[in-house]
Each structure stands twice: as C-alpha cells, then as structure tokens.
C-alpha cells in the first residue's frame, strides 16, 4: 500500500505485474505459464536491468486504486469485504520504478514521480498527477536537469511540496531544496495542469529529505542532516523562512503531524536506538512517548571531536569511548568511515553499530569527511570528483585529533568502512601504513570496472569521468598495500558488484610472497547476501569475523575461528 486518503479512506497501491496482463486480468496465469515453461530469461529494451539485490523484469509496477470499504462484515463469522483494485496505468515499463506517491485527503488525486528514459542511458524524474477516478496522468513538472521527489499534497489538495534536486555534473555536486507547485483543476475538480515551480528554500544551505505538511497548510515539517544530527525544521510555506525545531543531537524520522499541533516521530542517535517522541511545533519541545522497548544500556559514552582539515575546514566526528578509557588505560582506536558518500553518521544503525566494538574495548571514531551532508554545499563540493583528496585528508586529520587524546592509544589502530566507506578503506590501505588492520566491506576497488557494472551506471557517470576514475581508483595503489586487510562482499550485491571484491582479493593474494602461499589477508564471502548482509546468521558471522580480525592484528590476540565458518 502506498497511501490511504485521510478523509475518504480510498487506497492507492503499486504492484509488479506482467506486461502481457490486461487491466484487471489474471496476472497469476501469466506467471504460472512462464514457470511451467521453465523460462527465467528477461528480454530488456532499456536500462536499468537490476536494482540493489534483485533483477528487474519482466514484471513492472503498475499504479492501482480502490474505493473505501463500506465497513466490516455485518454478520459474525462472515468474511470482511475486500478492496476491488483498479489498474490506473496499465503496463508503463520502468516509469513507476521505485516511485513514491501521495494521495489527496479526499482520495481524488495522486501525485508522484514518473521515470523518463533519455538518451545515452540517462533518466530523469517527472512530477505527475494522476486522477484516481479515470487514471488520466498530467505532467506537472518536467526538467531534465532537475529531479522532483518525495511529493506531498497540502491538506486542501491544491499544492504539492517536493524535494527538487539539481542533477550533478562531473564538476558540480548535486544540490537539493524544497519547492512547491500549485495544481490547476477543472470545474469538476480534476487536475489539468500546474503553475510554475516555486523554489522555497533554495537559499537554505541544507538538503531536505522528507516533508510533512502541517494540518493548516501554512508550513512544512522537514527532516534534514545538520552537523552530525538530523533535526526537524519548520518551513513557512509562503515565505520559505526556516526554523530549527529540535535542539538535541537526535535524528528524527517517520514524522506524522497531528491536528493538535504536535509532530510524532521516531528519534534516534548514535547513542540511542529509535524511540517514539512527539515534538510541539510551537516551540520545539520534545516529549518521550511510551515505548514497548526500554532504552539500551551502552558499554560506553559518546563524545564529539572537532579538528581542522588541511585546507582549514572544520571536520567533526563522533567518538564512541568504552567504559574505563582513560590516560591510565587508553583504548585502541577503530576509524569507521560511512558510506554514501552523500551521508552522515547521525542515526542509530543496527547494521553499522559501533557499540559491539566498544564492548570489546575499542574507541570507535565516526567522522564526517568531505562529501558528508549536513555541513553545507561547499563541504560536499570539496570532495566532488576527487574522492582520494579531501575525503582522505579529512579522515587522516580526524584520526590525528582522536589519537592526540590521552584516553586513546595511538599505537593500536585500525580502519574500516562499507560501500563508499570501503572505497576509503581501500584508498587508506594503499596510501598509508599507519593502521594495524583494514576491513573493507562491499567496497569499490577498480573504478573503471565499477562505473559501468553497477546497477545505476547513469548515476555514477554523472560524476565519474574516465579521468576521475583514473585519478581516484584504489587499485592503482595495490603494490603499496602492506596492511593486513579483511575483504567482505556479498554475491547478491548489485550496487557494488561482486567483481570488485573478487578483483581486490586477487590483487592482494597475487602480491603475497610467502612461499607456502599464505597471506595475512582474508576474504569473507557471502553467497546469499547483498550490499548490507541482512540475515541474522550472516550478521553474527560478519561481526565475529571483523572483531576477531581486529583483535588479532590490533590487540595481538590469537585468531579465533568464527562459529559455523568451517
């Protein structure tokens, strides 16, 4: 289900459907025939062909709608009535791929993104409105240089707010801002057009990434990264004035605005798992709400580290310190680089959780180097198209600042990261021997290979020219790697394909000179996992292997074989 109308109860949904299935037809029959024929092949006519961890096609999403149910069954024991879905779009190829939709309060109008394929394998996102009664689609905004995402309709259904993103070029990073467009209706109330795009926060040096209207339609509650947090902001829908609502270091998500003037959300931070709260829009006061889960007791504390980069720019980090870390018992340091690269260490993560390492006695440094969000457009631009420059020197400056503390042991250190963080781990391994161990998960190794084989080559091609790939590819420094390195990769990773991990592993092993064929490096391979490693058993194996590898090379402990790895 994509959306349910607030007042009418109408429903909007998307569903993957075979191209040959007529509107209202039997889609199961087409799938059964394909299975019985033993056919798994997909004939593609465009790009992309896969996404994150799954193949695309031959089925594609369609937009479906249903009127509100009359009510529950009138007789005890009788089945409740079911929705009767109507096909609003038919087969439209990749147009609805990963589309986000919002439904007007009365259920008459849906707004969302429509993917348009363009020359040279490129694509862009239109903003469209669909009349739920007839399926008629109206293009509201179409700009090949600007994408329109996350649209939400005002309570009166007359204005759509959305995130506008200027598409990047090799020399210019993307930029996002909050924009509005007024919908034009005919006498029957159907959308027939739109006014000009109104850029509401183009002068605000932050990137909004989730929007919610206040119930009076006068403002929007906006989520955006800022200096290691993800606060809520209130944006005036007329003037564009921005006011930060929440003052803590929390990251707020899943916001819903109630008629009582409060916003309800989940709040987390790198020292707090998600918990429900409500925020008063009048003054930003935050109240904890009852939760079925008690707050976690952490094995340490969270502090902030600030330092200056090589060019004088301030670089900030979170530092997770174990209980007992002190000048008399300094903790070994683990540098952990975030992925993205357009992101920030600000929200709790069960998948990338520093506290397991902290519980083993490590201090874990979580820096936001160049390309991180929440520090302004110039901070992103510093690293754009030059991944091995400012992002690397920022990470080294942050590490220097952490090692200068008397509760951190600068003689026992390691570096790790996943995805883009894995790229940086590879770059670090080839450009310094200061660390005792390196862990690189789902990492980019040979950029000339990664660019055309990832699931979104058009996206990376906007930044990654042949020259950029040549100057910033870690594989050119393979001969310089002397630090024991743990390579981790999942075979179902289509964002950073397994070829990156396989090539990295061969480049390491083929340079190992021991006559008996031994190597200090290791390769943790997950045949069934994707970019993240999501299964419980896989996560256990991941953490046991990573922490065991660090303990061996940083702490000098004997290697302990993880459970169930042979």
- Walk along the chain (566 residues) and give the pLDDT tens digit of each residue: 789 999 988 999 999 999 999 877 889 999 999 999 999 999 999 999 999 999 999 999 999 999 987 666 567 777 777 788 999 999 999 999 999 999 999 999 999 999 999 999 999 999 999 999 999 999 999 999 999 999 999 999 999 999 999 999 999 999 999 999 999 999 998 999 999 999 999 999 999 999 999 999 999 999 999 999 999 999 999 999 999 999 999 999 999 999 888 999 999 999 999 999 999 999 999 999 999 999 999 999 999 999 999 999 999 999 999 999 999 999 999 999 999 999 999 999 999 999 999 999 999 999 999 999 999 999 999 999 999 999 999 999 999 999 999 999 999 999 999 999 999 999 999 999 999 999 999 999 999 999 999 999 999 999 999 999 999 999 999 999 999 999 999 999 999 999 999 999 999 999 999 999 999 999 999 999 999 999 999 999 999 999 999 999 999 999 999 999 98
CB–CB of 300/293 below 8 Å? no
Which pLDDT score is estimated for 261? 87
**Token digits for 403?**
């090692």
- In order, the DSSP letters of 468-482 are HHHHH-GGGGGGG--
Can you tell me the distance from the alpha carbon of 470 to that of 396, in angstroms, rounded to the nearest whole number? 22
| pLDDT tens-digit series, residues 442-465 | 999 999 999 999 999 999 999 999
**498 closest CA partner among 453, 438, 457, 558:** 453
Phi, then psi, of 298 in degrees rounded to 5: -95, 150
Q: Residues for the chain: how many in total?
A: 566
| pLDDT tens-digit series, residues 480-523 | 999 999 999 999 999 999 999 999 999 999 999 999 999 999 99
Q: Is 306 strand, coil or helix?
A: strand
Can you tell me the distance from the alpha carbon of 523 to that of 11, in angstroms, rounded to the nearest whole number? 48
Can you tell me the distance from the alpha carbon of 324 to that of 318, in angstroms, rounded to the nearest whole number? 18
Which pLDDT score is estimated for 236? 98
CB–CB of 185/111 below 8 Å? no
Q: Is 444 strand, coil or helix?
A: coil
Buried/exposed code over 238-248 (b: 16+ C-beta within 10 A; e: otherwise) = eebebeebbee
With 0-12 / 13-18 / 19 or more C-beta atoms within 10 angstroms meaning exposed / middle / buried, residue 60 is buried
Which pLDDT score is estimated for 140? 98
- CA 493, 499, 503, 509 torsion: positive or negative? positive
With 0-12 / 13-18 / 19 or more C-beta atoms within 10 angstroms meaning exposed / middle / buried, residue 129 is buried
- In order, the DSSP letters of 60-116 are EEEEEEEPPP--S-SSTTSPPP----EESS---GGGGTT--EEE-TTSSEEEEEEEE
Strand 3-4 relative to strand 11-17: parallel, antiparallel, unpaired? antiparallel
| pLDDT tens-digit series, residues 239-266 | 999 999 999 999 999 999 998 889 999 9
Q: For tokens 């862009």, what's the residue?
A: 124
With 0-12 / 13-18 / 19 or more C-beta atoms within 10 angstroms meaning exposed / middle / buried, residue 230 is buried
Which pLDDT score is estimated for 268? 98
CB–CB of 270/303 below 8 Å? no
Non-local (6+) Cβ contacts of 252 within 8 A are 223, 230, 231, 232, 246, 265, 266, 267, 277, 279
**221 closest CA partner among 207, 235, 237:** 235
Which pLDDT score is estimated for 81? 74
Which pLDDT score is estimated for 24? 75
Can you tell me the distance from the alpha carbon of 151 to that of 212, in angstroms, rounded to the nearest whole number? 9
**394 closest CA partner among 379, 409, 404, 408:** 379
**128 closest CA partner among 179, 91, 165, 183:** 183
CA separation (Å) from 124 to 148, 190, 239, 362, 435?
Answer: 9, 26, 29, 44, 42
Which pLDDT score is estimated for 550? 99
Which pLDDT score is estimated for 77? 72
Q: For tokens 């008397």, what's the residue?
A: 406
Which pLDDT score is estimated for 71? 67
Say what the pTM is. Answer: 0.95
Q: Is 328 strand, coil or helix?
A: coil
Non-local (6+) Cβ contacts of 32 within 8 A are none
Which pLDDT score is estimated for 502? 99
Which fold, 300-554? Rossmann fold (3.40.50)
556 Rama sector, left if φ>0, alpha if ψ -120 to 50, beta otherwise? left
Q: Is 449 strand, coil or helix?
A: helix
Which pLDDT score is estimated for 175? 97
CB–CB of 523/530 below 8 Å? no
């Amino acid at each position: 289900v994509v959306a349910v109308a607030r007042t009418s109860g109408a429903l909007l949904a998307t569903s993957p459907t075979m191209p040959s299935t007529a509107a209202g037809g039997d889609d199961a029959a087409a799938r059964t025939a394909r299975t019985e024929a033993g056919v798994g092949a997909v004939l593609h006519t465009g790009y992309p062909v896969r996404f994150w961890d799954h193949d695309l096609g031959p089925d594609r999403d369609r937009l479906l709608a249903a009127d509100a149910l009359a009510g529950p069954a009138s007789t005890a024991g009788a089945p409740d009535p079911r929705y009767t879905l109507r096909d609003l779009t038919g087969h439209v190829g990749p147009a609805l791929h990963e589309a986000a939709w919002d439904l007007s309060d009365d259920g008459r109008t849906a707004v969302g993104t429509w993917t348009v394929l363009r020359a040279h394998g490129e694509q862009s996102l239109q903003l469209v409105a669909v009349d739920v009664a007839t399926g008629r689609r109206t293009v509201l905004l179409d700009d090949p240089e600007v994408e329109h995402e996350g649209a939400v309709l005002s309570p009166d259904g007359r204005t759509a707010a959305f995130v506008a993103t200027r598409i990047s070029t090799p020399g210019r990073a993307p930029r996002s801002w909050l924009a509005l467009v007024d919908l034009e209706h005919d006498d029957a109330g159907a959308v027939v057009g739109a006014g000009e795009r109104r850029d509401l926060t183009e002068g605000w040096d932050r990137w909004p990434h989730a929007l919610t209207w206040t119930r009076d339609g006068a403002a929007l509650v906006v989520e955006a990264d800022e200096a290691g947090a993800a606060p809520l902001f209130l944006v005036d829908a007329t003037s564009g004035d921005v006011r930060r609502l929440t003052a803590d270091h929390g990251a707020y998500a899943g916001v819903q605005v109630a008629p009582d003037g409060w916003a309800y959300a989940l709040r987390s931070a790198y020292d707090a798992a998600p918990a429900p709260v409500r925020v008063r829009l009048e003054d930003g006061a935050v109240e904890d709400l009852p939760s079925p889960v008690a707050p976690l007791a952490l094995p340490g504390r969270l502090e902030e580290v600030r330092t200056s980069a090589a060019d004088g720019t301030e670089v900030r980090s979170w530092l997770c310190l174990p209980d007992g870390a002190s000048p008399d018992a300094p903790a070994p340091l683990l540098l952990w680089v975030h992925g993205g690269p357009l992101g920030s260490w600000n929200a709790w993560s069960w998948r990338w959780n520093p506290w397991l390492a902290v519980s083993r006695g490590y201090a874990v440094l979580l820096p936001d180097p160049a390309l991180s969000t929440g520090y302004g457009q110039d901070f992103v631009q510093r690293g754009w198209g030059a991944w091995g420059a400012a992002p690397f020197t920022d990470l080294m400056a942050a590490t220097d600042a952490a090692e200068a503390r008397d509760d951190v042991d600068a003689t026992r250190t390691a570096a790790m990261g996943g995805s883009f963080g894995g790229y940086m781990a590879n770059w670090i391994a080839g450009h310094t021997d200061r660390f005792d161990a390196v862990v690189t998960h789902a990492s980019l190794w040979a950029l000339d290979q990664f660019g055309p084989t990832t699931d979104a080559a058009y996206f990376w091609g906007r930044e990654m020219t042949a020259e950029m790939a040549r100057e910033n590819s870690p594989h050119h420094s393979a001969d310089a790697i002397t630090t024991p390195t743990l390579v981790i990769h999942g075979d179902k990773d289509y964002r950073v394909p397994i070829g990156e991990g396989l090539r990295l592993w061969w480049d390491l092993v083929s340079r190992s000179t021991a006559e008996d064929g031994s190597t200090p490096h290791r390769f943790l391979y997950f045949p069934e996992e994707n970019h993240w490693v999501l299964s419980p058993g896989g996560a256990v194996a991941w953490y046991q292997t990573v922490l065991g590898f660090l303990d061996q090379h940083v702490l000098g402990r004997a290697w302990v074989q993880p459970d169930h790895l042979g």
